[in-house]
Structures are given as C-alpha cells and as structure tokens.
C-alpha cells in the first residue's frame, strides 16, 4: 500500500520534468548584476567580469549587448550561447578619461529567456580626476563661414599629486588642429589650443582630442563645431492634391553664407502656377508663395521646381509631387513646414 502511494506520488513530478524539458526554456541569471568599484583616479580603465548563468533546461542565446549611449563602456563576451548549467563571462571595461565624480553606467543584456529577456548590469563608483580641464570641451557652436579659422583655449591642470607630465595632444579629426604648451608660471598646468581647420564640412564636425604623457597618463577633450548648410528649404518637398481648385504653398529659403545670393526667378513645373518672392526675416532669406490651379491632370506625377539666383550655376531645385487620385488630403494641406533639409544646389 505504501509502495503504491510512493510510485503514484512520483508520477506528477516526472511528468513536470518531462514537460519542462519538452519546452526547453532557458533561464538567464546573474548573481551580482551591480558592481561598485569604489574610488579610482580618472584616466584609468575599470574592468569587471559578470558571470552570465543559464539555470534553465534549454540553450540560452545572448542576442545583444547594449551599452546605450555610453561610449565609455566596452565589452567582450566569451560566448553568445550558454548550455544548461553553463556560464559565459562578460568582461566590461569602463574608460574614465572623460568622466569624473559619482557615476553609474549601465548596459543591457538581451537574451531569448522568455521570462527574463533583458538583464541590466551596472558599474558605479567615484572617479577622482587626475586632471581638471576648463572649459571641459572645445565647443564652437554654429559657424556660418566654413572657411573661418577659429581658436578655443582650454587649461589643463593637474588635480592629483600622482599626475605625471603631459607632452602630447592628438586630434581624431583633421578638421581640428591642437597645440599643447606647458605654462611657465605653473609646472602642473598646460594651455591647450584647439583650432578649426578650413574648409569645414557642412553639418557636425567632431573630434576626440587625446592629451597624454610618456608615463601613460591621459585625458580626453571633446571638440564640436556645426556648419549650417549654405542653402536650406522648408519643407524639403512640396506636395499638392490632384485638384483643379487653387492650392497655395509657401516655401522658406534660408541661406547661411557670408556672401548670400539673391533669388531672381522661380520656374514652376505646372502651366497655371504663380510664384511670388517675399522677403524673409533676414536679408539673405526669402519666402516663395506658390499658387497653383488645374492639377487634376498631373495626378501621381513627380517633378522639380527651379529657383534661380544671381550667380552662375546658382540653380536650386526642390522636389514637387502631386499625389495620386484617391489620395487627396495626404499632400499636407497648406502647412508650409515639414522638415528642414538641404535642397540640391548646382554651384559654380
């Protein structure tokens, strides 16, 4: 009687084991997801190994390691597959060259564990700067003249008695030139000059400037300059409905140039179109009011509008589209602002 009871009691347990094995579900687990490294001096790398365990019955696949926007974090994963009962080591390195004070950096481990698909790991502690940089970055803001040479001056000060001599500054971008000079009035201080190297590219120009010494000490300075496009329009594309009634659109033209061109003529793609050029908020800006009728015959057509300026080769083209029949109302109506992008310009 007792023996039969014991055998009967084992049946549900055995069934559950086979059921779990049939599903083959992995289970991701990290015993210590938070690592506090205490207090370290800046310029050094903090390294820690996280043990990624698989406590399930199926193979665990590590699909992605995401450090977010923290460029100071790097990692090496031993294996992206972990068998049941196995462990994969994830080595995470924190570069403290550009950070100071109390910090916490996180990264996400994405797996195929149905019950724990994302695990958050973190490194936290205090970074004591070996060098103080004032200002912290060489920021040039928005530059109109891409051929301008502009210089920003920064001061680098030793913040620790153990800080060693600095003798080199290297820019990661050819758009910035750097010069490092030791101050004669203070042996523990340096002047760092960061200058733009024309011609700059339109858009963002960025650089990481590494200041280092023969003893291995280093600090990193960020340099950024934004060059606005010489020409920009809002919206970047004009859309109309396939309708014979009057439709009005306004095109804003902005010039960011030391010698702006003057808009002299507008050529529309439609026979019954009237274009008026109005002044803008600045002398180099303008608005083009476009009034069009009789577009039912142009349904589904895509073409360009041409703007002519008082300079050889000063042709400015803007894409124009008449939406297909049955798509009325999707042209954007009379709202003139969509996105601000550079249009095509044929320059001399």
Query: How much is the pLDDT for 222?
Result: 93
Q: Is the pLDDT of residue 102 over 70?
A: yes
Secondary structure (DSSP) of 182-201:
E-TT-TTEEEEEEEE-SSPP
> In which residue ranges of the chain is CATH 2.60.40.60 found?
131-227
Q: How confident is the model at residue 118 (pLDDT cuts 50, 70, 90)?
A: very high
The pLDDT mean for the chain works out to: 81
Query: Which CATH number does 231-346 carry?
Result: 2.60.40.10
Residues 39-55 have a mean pLDDT of 89
**CATH class entry, domain 131-227:** mainly beta
DSSP H helical ranges for the chain? 2-23
Closest C-alpha to 200, from 255, 252, 256, 155? 256
Summarize pLDDT for 287-311 with one digit per residue, the tens. 888 888 999 889 999 988 888 877 6
**Which of 205-214, 233-242, 253-262: highest mean pLDDT?**
205-214
Per the CB < 8 A criterion, the answer to whether 92 and 132 are in contact is: no
**CATH class entry, domain 2-128:** mainly beta
Q: Which helix (H) or strand (E) holds 248?
A: strand 247-255
- Helix, strand, coil distribution of the chain in percent, nearest 5: 5, 50, 40
Query: How much is the pLDDT for 172?
Result: 95
In whole angstroms, give the CA distance from residue 64 to residue 47: 20
> In which residue ranges of the chain is CATH 2.60.40.10 found?
2-128, 231-346
Indicate the pTM of the whole model.
Answer: 0.55
Query: How much is the pLDDT for 128?
Result: 84
Per the CB < 8 A criterion, the answer to whether 246 and 223 are in contact is: no
């Amino acid at each position: 009687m007792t023996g039969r009871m014991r055998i009967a009691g084992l049946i549900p347990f055995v069934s559950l084991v086979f059921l779990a094995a049939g599903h083959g579900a992995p289970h991701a687990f990290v015993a210590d997801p938070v690592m506090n490294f205490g207090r370290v001096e800046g310029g050094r790398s903090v390294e820690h190994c996280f043990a990624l365990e698989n406590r399930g019955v199926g193979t665990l696949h590590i699909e992605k390691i995401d450090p977010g926007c923290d460029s100071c974090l790097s990692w090496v994963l031993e294996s992206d597959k972990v068998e049941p009962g196995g462990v994969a080591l994830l080595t995470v390195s924190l570069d403290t060259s550009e950070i100071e004070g109390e910090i916490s950096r996180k990264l996400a481990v994405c797996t195929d564990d149905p019950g724990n698909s994302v695990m958050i790991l973190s490194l936290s502690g205090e970074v004591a700067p070996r060098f103080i940089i004032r200002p912290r970055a060489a920021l040039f803001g928005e530059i109109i003249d891409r051929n301008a040479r502009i210089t920003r001056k920064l001061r680098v000060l030793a913040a620790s008695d153990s800080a060693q001599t600095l003798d080199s500054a290297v820019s990661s971008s050819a758009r910035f030139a750097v010069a490092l000079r030791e101050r004669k009035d203070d042996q523990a201080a340096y002047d760092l000059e960061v200058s733009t190297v024309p011609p700059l590219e339109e858009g963002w120009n960025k650089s990481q400037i590494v200041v280092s010494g023969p003893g291995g000490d280093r600090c990193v300075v960020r340099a950024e300059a934004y060059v606005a496009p010489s020409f920009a329009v809002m919206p970047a594309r004009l859309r109309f409905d396939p309708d014979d009634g009057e439709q009005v659109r306004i095109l804003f033209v902005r010039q960011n140039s030391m010698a702006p061109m003057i808009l002299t003529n507008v050529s529309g793609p439609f026979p019954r179109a009237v274009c008026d050029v109005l002044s803008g908020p600045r002398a180099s800006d303008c608005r083009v009011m476009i009034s069009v009728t009789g577009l039912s015959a142009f349904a589904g057509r895509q073409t360009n509008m041409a703007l002519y300026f008082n300079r050889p080769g000063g042709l400015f083209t803007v894409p124009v589209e008449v939406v297909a029949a049955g798509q009325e109302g999707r042209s954007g109506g009379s709202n003139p602002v969509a996105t601000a992008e550079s249009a095509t310009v044929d320059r001399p």
